[in-house]
Structure 1
Amino acid sequence: MSIEWVNGAIEEIRAWGRSNGVVVDADEIRLLCDYASDYLDVKELADFAPVTFERLLLDIYPRKVIAPPESAAETVAASRTLVDFLLDSGEIGTKMAARMRAKIDEIAPEMPAALADTTKFGMAKSMFGAMGADALEAGTPYVATDDLVAAPRRPRSDDGAGDCDCPACAPLPAVRLAPPQEVAQGAREAGLLREAQLLVAWMLEGGRVPTVKGTLRVRDAARAARELGLTAPALAWDAALAIGLAEVSGRALTAPRGTEPLPDRDDETVLDLWAGVVAFLTGGSEADVTGFAPVDRELYGVHDMLYRAQAPLEVAALREYLEDTWAGDGPQAGEELDAGLAAALDVLARCGTVEHDGEAVRLTAHGRWGLREVFTRMGLAAPVAPDPAEGDAAALVALLVEGHPAWLAEQDIAAWLGRREPEEAAGELLAAVQGGEAAARGVALTIVDRLGPEAAPAVRDVLDDPCLRPHALVWLASHDMEAPAPTPREALWAGVDTLAFALAREADDPDEIARSLAQSAPSAQVIEDMWQVDHPDVAEVLDLLGRHLPDRALAKAARKAAFKARSRGIH
């Protein structure tokens, strides 16, 4: 975000503050200058005008900055300090300063409400604000950086010590990484690294050399596309030079890292090469990566945004992120942006860092690994989250109970089960939830339901557990194994317990719960019997039925039964 004139201005303002005994909030003033530069075409301090402050504080800040309303006072104070500096330094005259101060006085009472108005939030701010809502503690200003992630501002000293404008001011989240072997295999198949390696070998084998400037000759690019099937020969060549696969000295072309095919290279070498490719793509090189300027200018920000999200993002969120730098105009501008973004994402998918289906986009496993390697090489703390497959059943269940994207939950469950025999897996899962709550029990039983007859001994071992016995009997019967039939009370208890598992999901998807209950609603007699079940969640389960059963009579019966359960003291 920061550019040369902003850096110079901040140093001048700090020096002015020290000379005049003025406390300068350089962090706030830098943000004002940064956003004025990025969104209002302010090229120097003299370009500030009253309307600049109005648009910054009532339009851009509410859309872009994640900050509590009470932080408005700090921003307004910094704006007034900036006006004082502009006047003392001769950038503006006394009349202009008076107009600016009057405008800031008008803005001051309006800004807190503007920051709190969710209708003003941009899509990306809304999304990341929700992700970081728990972190917005009173009195701690948080901002939306260029990569639109809530980031705590570091304390700044008056003399500039500790002042930092790097991405480290926004701590990176702990991410899950695929095993190195899987990452290396994905990198071998990734388009850009594979094309770079093929191109270098082809150039050397044919005795071809680049231009005197070191670029790929047009005729060679055309032949490489035709003979090797390369999708972007010029980009592959730039990448090969950047990661050291090729080196040009005068008219001589060499391959310092060899020309062996990627399948013949060891994992460590492939991973090192792939990290170089990701650094090349996100490092702000002048290479024309996607051919779409808004994305090419924001390659680092786009990848960083996906890294922090740790889940698929709607393409619309990336679209809004890029809108402010889109130079298009006219009725076709939106269509041009959509088409350009779609084409750019296709290019990045071929390069190997992202994958998308038109509606959502996310980093590939090797893209995430490579980006973390880039962050680490930049000196940023890039923590790695533990792999649930390496933990015990209790850790897996706790993770799934807390909430997990469905696509990632499936991967974690499959990986965890893949390291255990069915009987072992069932035994661990059931032992982990004995004496626990319905939510944990529901998660464990859902996983056990995936297991085959080999898990039967572990299931039989819990027949003496009053909470697990009803479910174990159902599991054995569903696998055509000999087992006593559940008593009516056990069957009813299992039904309440299963619905209790749905309680945690109600807030996330009430419509889905309503649809499920509409398809398999309990009878009036079952509802009447439910309130007598000695289950700690029976009243809440009956409340759930009262809220979502489509049959009004049944819903009313459920609410009455919930009252009876509470009257019995069952909670």
Structure 2
Amino acid sequence: MSIEWVNRAIDGLRTWGCEKGVEVDVDEVRLLCDYASDYLEVRELGDFRPGTFEELLLEIYPRKVIAPPESAPETISAARTLVEFLLDTGEIGGKVAIRMRETIDEIEPEMPRALADTTKFGMAKSIFSAIGPDSLELVEPGSADCDCPGCAPLPAVRLPPATEIAAAVREAPLLRDAHHVVTWLVDGGRTTTTRKALRVRDARDVAAEASVERPALAWRLALDLGLARVDRTVVVAGEGFRPLAARADEEVLDLWAGTIEFLIEAPVAVTGEPAVDEEMYSVHDLLYRLQAPVPSEAVAEYLREIAAGRSSASTEHGPVAGGPVEGGPMNISSDGRLDAALAGLAYTGTVQITEDGLTLTPRGLWGLREIYSEMGLDAPVAPDLAEGDASGLIAGLISDGLPAEVAERDVEAWLVRRTPEQAAAELLAAVAGAPAEVRGIAVTIVDRLGVEAAPVVRSCLDDPELRPHAAHWLSARGLEAPVLTHEEVLWVTVDMLALALPAAEADPDGFAENIAVSGPPAHLIEDMWRVEHPDVVEVLELLGNSLSDRASAKAARKAAFKARSRGIR
């Protein structure tokens, strides 16, 4: 997005408003220009057309902007003001202005409905609307008068053992580079400027000679942590300075807690992108509360919403301390600037970038929890599922919404405490008569066990719900197993698809992609309506809405109708 033309347009709008005596909602007009530039390829004021307003107000705003339906009149008013400004400044002609006004008149009654339509919400808006728009209000965390999600109780988190965290901290790029910078400066007898900053030549040399990625930032951290001090301009190692590898775990964790505090509290250019640097705490807090990867586009939307909220608060209550400057965070876009900033953030070691988006590293999660505790907030740690029984393990895997790597660690830790026979016996006994999702998780874990569990699994052949799973388990290992009847094949197919229902609801596109490759054939789907399974209707409706193959999708919808007609629920 071209920030320059938007800033020039806003400056011109202010001047025009003063000269004409027109009250201008500058913040709302800026958002119109920002989104037009980001998504509709508007590169200057003269690019606005009647259709631009239609797309902005009925497509982009409902998809991107967290705003209640009752806010629509303010946006409509700002759009009309923008039209008059475009006309008076010669950016558009009279006929175009008339069509724009007519378009906005048509949009006016439709916009509140569009803002309220959750089916129009984009990915980012859905995420942050779930958190709640009040989380953008500028209230001190933990305020007794605040009940917004930003001050709501923190979720319980799963933390690896302290020894694993300490080992990961020793590999954190920024903290490791802070030690390298100090060693390089002291060994070389280098000095700093009178303001304790790295000299330009030294920054260049330490980057080349010691492979330090961001020398200035690493040096700032070293000073903040007391790894070094400056005697006039001479660099001296801090008291007891030692490499990370030579430090005890407790000492390493103390340094890491200080690093997290430095990153989210100190006014430093961590990434070089003001929109990210000014909201380091907000971004980390978001990742901590969601406990899930957040795509970069969603991060950009979050920063924009924060900036818009602060700008609104500044307009209503006067300037907000620490708020963004003109042309700051509100103008962040995902055109490469944000990606570069997030890559810089990953260098700190608190976050990692995955295929699914940005998420906290385990050491980042640990460090942020330490900060919350120092702030006096209750930052609970979830119980160790490996210490509980099979019911507790399954319940925790279902309810906690754990990242895949954390869930994997829990399952492995639970299994290592038991023999295969014990694990199978506990898991299968815990899910007798349970819903499909619970049974499916147990069966999935049992599927990891070796042939030592065969006697326990074979004993489940008399259980109508577990029999198809047990038979499949035995035959997959080349052991003697009964041949499943057609009815049993149908039942186990429905049962395993029922396990996927929560995941399909959370990620319908991902489910549709997977089921297109591994879904049941049409001739099997056609008979599923006969299955006496409590989830058969929901499973068939899911297939009917997800399968890309028209014949299979039609067969699923037809089978769902038949199942409903039978009264199966």
Q: Fold conserved (TM > 0.5)?
A: yes
CA distance in 1 between partners of 2:389 and 2:136 (Å): 38
Closer, same or farther: CA 360–521 of 1 in aligned 2, 3 Å: same
Deviation at 1:383, TM superposition (A): 2.8
CA distance in 2 between partners of 1:184 and 1:237 (Å): 22
Letter in 1 for 2:193: T
Counterpart among 245, 254, 257 of residue 272 in structure 1: 254
The answer as to 2:48 corresponding to 1:51 is no
Closer, same or farther: CA 249–420 of 1 in aligned 2, 3 Å: farther
Letter in 2 for 1:479: R
Q: 8 Å contact 1:58–1:111 — kept in the other structure?
A: no
Greater shift, 538-547 or 340-349, is seen at 538-547
Q: 8 Å contact 1:470–1:494 — kept in the other structure?
A: yes
Corresponding residue SS for 1:177: coil
- In the other structure, the counterpart of 1:21 is none
Cα deviation digits, residues 485-504 of structure 1 (max 9, x gap): 34555444434433443455
Deviation at 1:51, TM superposition (A): 3.0
Deviation at 1:233, TM superposition (A): 1.9
Deviation at 1:440, TM superposition (A): 1.4
- In the other structure, the counterpart of 1:304 is 285
- In the other structure, the counterpart of 1:442 is 440
CA distance in 1 between partners of 2:278 and 2:537 (Å): 56
Corresponding residue SS for 1:268: helix
- In the other structure, the counterpart of 1:317 is 298
Counterpart among 195, 200, 208 of residue 177 in structure 2: 195
Deviation at 1:268, TM superposition (A): 0.9
The answer as to 2:201 corresponding to 1:228 is no
Closer, same or farther: CA 472–152 of 1 in aligned 2, 3 Å: farther
CA distance in 2 between partners of 1:269 and 1:230 (Å): 23
Deviation at 1:269, TM superposition (A): 0.6
Cα deviation digits, residues 137-176 of structure 1 (max 9, x gap): xxxxx514169xxx99999xxxxxx667999635433333
Corresponding residue SS for 1:143: helix
The answer as to 2:361 corresponding to 1:367 is no
The answer as to 2:377 corresponding to 1:376 is no
Cα deviation digits, residues 515-535 of structure 1 (max 9, x gap): 2576533448xx55x555544
Cα deviation digits, residues 20-62 of structure 1 (max 9, x gap): xxxxxxxxxxxxxxxxxxxx99x9xxx99843499499989x8
Matches of residues 394-473 of structure 1 in structure 2 within 5 Å? 394-402=391-399, 406=404, 409-473=407-471
Matches of residues 477-488 of structure 1 in structure 2 within 5 Å? 477-487=475-485
Unaligned runs of 5+ in 1: 1-39, 76-108, 137-141, 156-161
CA distance in 2 between partners of 1:175 and 1:411 (Å): 14
The answer as to 2:240 corresponding to 1:258 is yes
Closer, same or farther: CA 565–304 of 1 in aligned 2, 3 Å: closer
Corresponding residue SS for 2:448: coil
TM-score, normalization by structure 2: 0.68
Q: 8 Å contact 1:517–1:549 — kept in the other structure?
A: no
- In the other structure, the counterpart of 1:83 is none
Deviation at 1:307, TM superposition (A): 2.3
Q: 8 Å contact 1:67–1:143 — kept in the other structure?
A: no
Closer, same or farther: CA 112–170 of 1 in aligned 2, 3 Å: farther
Closer, same or farther: CA 549–265 of 1 in aligned 2, 3 Å: closer
Matches of residues 97-246 of structure 1 in structure 2 within 5 Å? 116=116, 124-129=124-129, 131-132=130-131, 143-145=134-136, 169-246=151-228
Letter in 2 for 1:511: A
Unaligned runs of 5+ in 2: 1-9, 35-60, 75-108, 308-323
The answer as to 2:273 corresponding to 1:282 is no
Closer, same or farther: CA 163–255 of 1 in aligned 2, 3 Å: farther
- In the other structure, the counterpart of 1:24 is none
CA distance in 1 between partners of 2:381 and 2:344 (Å): 28
Deviation at 1:380, TM superposition (A): 2.8
TM-score, normalization by structure 1: 0.68
- In the other structure, the counterpart of 1:91 is none
Q: 8 Å contact 1:200–1:246 — kept in the other structure?
A: yes
Closer, same or farther: CA 550–113 of 1 in aligned 2, 3 Å: closer
Deviation at 1:264, TM superposition (A): 1.7
| Identity between Structure 1 and Structure 2 (%) | 50
Cα deviation digits, residues 221-278 of structure 1 (max 9, x gap): 3332233221122211110111122233445654445222212211111011011111
Deviation at 1:341, TM superposition (A): 2.1
Corresponding residue SS for 2:336: helix
**RMSD, aligned CA:** 4.7
Letter in 2 for 1:469: R
Counterpart among 454, 474, 486 of residue 476 in structure 1: 474
Closer, same or farther: CA 199–116 of 1 in aligned 2, 3 Å: same
CA distance in 1 between partners of 2:522 and 2:515 (Å): 10
Letter in 2 for 1:291: G
Closer, same or farther: CA 237–400 of 1 in aligned 2, 3 Å: same
CA distance in 1 between partners of 2:434 and 2:112 (Å): 45
Q: 8 Å contact 1:284–1:299 — kept in the other structure?
A: no
Q: 8 Å contact 1:284–1:297 — kept in the other structure?
A: no
Cα deviation digits, residues 336-391 of structure 1 (max 9, x gap): x6332222222222221122157722221111211222222223333333343444
Matches of residues 535-546 of structure 1 in structure 2 within 5 Å? 535-538=533-536, 540-541=538-539
Deviation at 1:409, TM superposition (A): 4.3
Corresponding residue SS for 2:358: strand
Q: 8 Å contact 1:122–1:320 — kept in the other structure?
A: no
The answer as to 2:521 corresponding to 1:520 is yes
Corresponding residue SS for 2:345: helix
- In the other structure, the counterpart of 2:94 is none
Cα deviation digits, residues 440-481 of structure 1 (max 9, x gap): 112221222222223323323423322212211211111012
Closer, same or farther: CA 506–299 of 1 in aligned 2, 3 Å: closer
Q: 8 Å contact 2:543–2:556 — kept in the other structure?
A: no
Q: 8 Å contact 1:225–1:233 — kept in the other structure?
A: yes
